[in-house]
Amino acid sequence: MSNEQSYETRIAQILKGEIKRAGLTYASLTEKLNQMGIDEKEVNVRNKIGRGKFSAAFMMQCLEAIGLRDLRL
């Protein structure tokens, strides 16, 4: 696994953990993103997070939708 892949895996795990900790599903996260005006489909959200291939902006949008204000690494 390359160094870049290990970071992608790590950040995806962090985001998945925060989604789970908030008690959300991908469907409910997608709904919250849509309410914020971010046009996403559940399958796309699931795929992005599953692959770990998403932008920092997408991660921030997800964290905002979750209601997370602090993230400790």
Q: Which residues of 12-33 are buried (b: 16+ CB within 10 A; e: fewer)?
A: bebbeebbeebebebeebbebb
What is the pTM for the complete model shown? 0.89
pLDDT digits (tens, 9 = 90+) for 15-72: 999 999 999 999 999 999 999 999 999 999 999 999 999 999 999 999 999 999 888 8
pLDDT of residue 71: 84
Residue 59 identity: M
Q: Is the predicted pLDDT of residue 1 greater than 80, yes or no?
A: no
Q: pLDDT confidence of 2, banded at 50, 70, 90?
A: confident
